[in-house]
Amino acid sequence: MRNKLIMVATSGVLIFAGESLTPGVPLCGVEVVVQRTVEPIPGIGSVRAKYDFKADVIYIIKKPWLMTRSKYRGLLIHELIHATGHQSRLGRVDLTKPVDWYIEEVIAERSFYLILGKRFNKAYINRHPLNRDLTAAEWALVEVESKRAVQWIYEYTKGVK
């Protein structure tokens, strides 16, 4: 058994097959730990969701009652996109070398917009603490890696019924 994530081909939107995640069951091959509280994740500051590259685990808070399901799912999908960079998947992030975490954030956000089929909105990225201007080569890398991440998720979910 695994948590089901389905790609709706007509709109390109990822949706959950169920109302909630099944504890202990991987999502696209990634372990997801749902905190028992809506408080920020301990040791991470005010973050509501985080992908840990070393442990290959997504940590996410319990869904706050004021947060919409789509926003909550968006948090999870954003972290799932980070997980595609793990060495066991696309190998985008190599922890033995210096990692440009800002580019990784832009890739995750750009991929999310590709999944939604919407025009990329830089507002979130511009508010990011690591915000800086990217070069043309870095934007080209973001485009390539974002498409690879979305393709990986699509291929993984293709066989899920």
| Residue-wise pLDDT tens digits, 7-65 | 443 334 444 444 456 666 777 788 888 877 777 776 666 678 889 999 998 888 887 88
User: What pLDDT is recorded for position 107?
Assistant: 95
| Element containing residue 102 per DSSP (H, E) | helix 101-116
Higher pLDDT, 94 or 119: 94
Residue 45 phi/psi, 5-degree rounding, is 85, -135
- Burial label for 57, CB within 10 Å (0-12, 13-18, 19+), is middle
> CA–CA separation, 15 vs 30, rounded Å?
16
> CA–CA separation, 90 vs 148, rounded Å?
8
User: What pLDDT is recorded for position 18?
Assistant: 44
Structural domains counted in the chain? 1
- Given pLDDT bands bounded at 50, 70 and 90, which one contains residue 157? confident
- Its domain, for residue 104, covers 5-157
Tell me the mean pLDDT in the region 83-98.
91
Q: pTM of the full predicted structure?
A: 0.81
